[in-house]
Structure 1
Amino acid sequence: MFKARMTALRERLTESGINVALITDDDSVYYYSGYYDYLHMDFGRPTLLVVSVDGESVLITPSMEKEMAQSAAVVDRIELWNDGMGNEWREALPGFLEGTARIGIEPDLMPPVVRSYVDTLVNPDRLTDLMPLVSQMRMIKSSDELQIARHAGEVGIAMMDAGRSAIGEGVPNTRLRFPLLRPVPARRPNY
């Protein structure tokens, strides 16, 4: 699913005349790569997904997320960075953006610290809003995405039914979590 999304993104970028997409929104990073950085900007640690039309897709993420990135990310390469070492996440970014004719960004979703740095690297006339393209892609669901949504609904209903049947006089809240979770393994999909 993620490979298909990445391929579709590259096709849309080409059609739009965009050479590189710099994706910084955690939901969009997940949508295209299958990777979700749990620290993200809550701790001031950006994760960036750079997708080149002609080159590779590169995930730039904190090194403490290495195992998660390696197991989940469907990208060509992973660039790791450490807090306080070198130029952190800024180290690799210039190589992907410098000399690139047109760069697509998510201006309303890009963390200010990332945007400030990008503005020092790239002339604003080379930046273009990627959000309409990303929004349109994410709005139209594939059959796989619809199946996942249906399955999530089935699990939710099963959990609610289990919770309702466990509720009773004198049953403490702490005893409800186990019946709620019981349907989850039984309904694990075969994706």
Structure 2
Amino acid sequence: MTGKKRIIVMNYFLKRVNKFQEKIREKELDFSIIFNSRHIYYFTGTSQNSILLIPKEDSPTLFVRRDFVRAKKESQIKDLVNIHSTSEVLKSIDGFKENEYNIGIENNFLRVGLFLYLKKYLPTSNFYDVSSIIREMRMIKDDLELEYVRKSAKVNEEVQTVSREYLKEGITELDLAGEIQKVLTENGSTFSYFDGYWGRTPFIIASGENLWARSDFPPVLSGVGSSPAVPHGPSDREIKKDDIVVVDVASVINGYNSDHSRTYYVGKPSDKFKKIYDILLNARNDGIKNMRAGFKIGDFCQKIIHSIPKEYHDYIQGYHQFREGFGHGIGLCLDELPMLVKNNNRRFKENMLIAFEPKIIIPGWGAVNFEDDFIIKKNGPPEQITNSPI
């Protein structure tokens, strides 16, 4: 990276830190202690094993356990300290045992043991959750983040190209997964991605009866997995003639996800498949027209439902009590704000990055699913960044 490019990149990280400091000053917090690796990467540009201390004023400090040399090279903030234990971070705080500080922490990430440790070392301080502040910030992408997700989207298009070429009768879901893994690796994408549940999970390939199989994984169309240890994703099921196959993959470039799926038919598509496919495709296309800044997300979801014939309403986004929303934000994690659910009063905003995934799942028959990623624009229609043929 050239000196000029590094300065440009550094400015993005400094702007994020400055914005966060504004937010914690509004909450009358003295500082925040950040442990989550995705949050640390978001503010610093490195995800080495470290703890980030962000005061309400002045510069943040990154306390690095390992590897300090790599963190020094990667970090976009200047103040780094090499440490061996968390206590060194706390001891760096003036009067850490006597003063009453208001401290921001990540409630949705911190383990109980670590929280009790903080309470022990900072007995007179008060703790407040800043997870929602960071999640809200990450919901709106800056230009650097959008550069990364566009690159990730191109890799995901290549995944679908290879899936169309390789998919045939007689291979297993795992065979196809192997070809996809090769594409991801050759294009610089990590195989696993971060989310809020498993931490890192495989992509989804589901065929035949696996399309409506239930599992623990939040998405209702998740496949059954290769073993009870990870009960979702591709399995050893052999793909047969007249199977419906869904390929749903997250590619990750520079830590940023794209999320892209297509539905395939092995052989000549049946009339029923073509009918349901076209119904969902039309609903998808109608939905995209409403994906614009200022439009309420709950209304967006309701309009999609109303655009699908009533005979299929019991199968939109799942069936019975097993259902999910129409999509989600994406970024450093696969599932971020906003959630595309019908009771969401939030409105689309410029530079939200949205994975839109309408689906129809009919037990005993199969499923159809499309997923594409969109950048919400200030005016007009969104920018679609995954563009595999439908």
Which bin holds the TM-score, normalised by the shorter protein? 0.7 to 0.9
Q: Which amino acid counterpart does residue 131 of structure 1 have in structure 2? A: S
State the alpha-carbon separation in 2 of the partners of residues 132 and 179 from structure 1. Answer: 35
Please give the residue correspondences for 1:7-22 in structure 2 after superposition, counting only pairs within 5 Å.
7-22=18-33
Comparing 94-103 with 24-33, greater Cα deviation is found at 94-103
Between structure 1 and structure 2, the one with the greater Rg is 2
Please give the residue correspondences for 1:13-52 in structure 2 after superposition, counting only pairs within 5 Å.
13-37=24-48, 40=49, 47-52=50-55
Give the structure-1-normalised TM-score.
0.72
Cα distance change of structure 1 residues 158 and 106 upon mapping to structure 2, 3 Å threshold: same
Alignment pair present for 1:91 and 2:88: yes
Q: 1:6 aligns with which of 3, 12, 17?
A: 17
State the alpha-carbon separation in 1 of the partners of residues 160 and 128 from structure 2. Answer: 45
Give percent identity, aligned residues only: 18
Alignment pair present for 1:55 and 2:58: yes
State the alpha-carbon separation in 1 of the partners of residues 70 and 141 from structure 2. Answer: 26
Structure 2 contact 60–77 (Cα < 8 Å) conserved:
yes
> Which ranges in structure 1 are unaligned for 5 or more consecutive residues?
41-46, 83-87
Structure 1 SS opposite 2:68: helix
Equivalence for 2:156: 156
Structure 2 SS opposite 1:92: helix
Cα distance change of structure 1 residues 112 and 35 upon mapping to structure 2, 3 Å threshold: farther
Structure 2 contact 155–184 (Cα < 8 Å) conserved:
no
Equivalence for 2:139: 139
Structure 1 contact 61–89 (Cα < 8 Å) conserved:
no
Structure 1 contact 160–180 (Cα < 8 Å) conserved:
no
Bigger share in strand: 2
Structure 2 contact 32–55 (Cα < 8 Å) conserved:
yes
Structure 1 contact 50–58 (Cα < 8 Å) conserved:
yes
State the alpha-carbon separation in 1 of the partners of residues 168 and 69 from structure 2. Answer: 43
Cα distance change of structure 1 residues 131 and 184 upon mapping to structure 2, 3 Å threshold: closer
Structure 1 contact 20–104 (Cα < 8 Å) conserved:
yes
Cα offset, 1:107, TM superposition: 2.1
The two structures, once aligned, show a CA RMSD in angstroms of 3.2
State the alpha-carbon separation in 2 of the partners of residues 131 and 124 from structure 1. Answer: 22
Output one character per residue of 1:133-171: Cα deviation in whole Å (capped at 9) or x when no partner. Answer: 1121111222332232122111221244246557899xx
State the alpha-carbon separation in 1 of the partners of residues 23 and 81 from structure 2. Answer: 25
> Which ranges in structure 2 are unaligned for 5 or more consecutive residues?
1-11, 170-174, 190-252, 255-390
State the alpha-carbon separation in 2 of the partners of residues 139 and 179 from structure 1. Answer: 28
More contact order relative to length (CA 8 Å, sep ≥ 6): 1
How many residue pairs end up in the alignment?
Answer: 173
State the alpha-carbon separation in 2 of the partners of residues 165 and 29 from structure 1. Answer: 39
Q: Which amino acid counterpart does residue 61 of structure 1 have in structure 2? A: V
State the alpha-carbon separation in 1 of the partners of residues 18 and 138 from structure 2. Answer: 14
Cα distance change of structure 1 residues 148 and 134 upon mapping to structure 2, 3 Å threshold: same
State the alpha-carbon separation in 2 of the partners of residues 132 and 183 from structure 1. Answer: 33
Give the structure-2-normalised TM-score.
0.38
State the alpha-carbon separation in 2 of the partners of residues 156 and 166 from structure 1. Answer: 15
Structure 1 contact 48–61 (Cα < 8 Å) conserved:
yes
Comparing 10-19 with 108-117, greater Cα deviation is found at 108-117
Alignment pair present for 1:66 and 2:68: yes
Alignment pair present for 1:126 and 2:126: yes
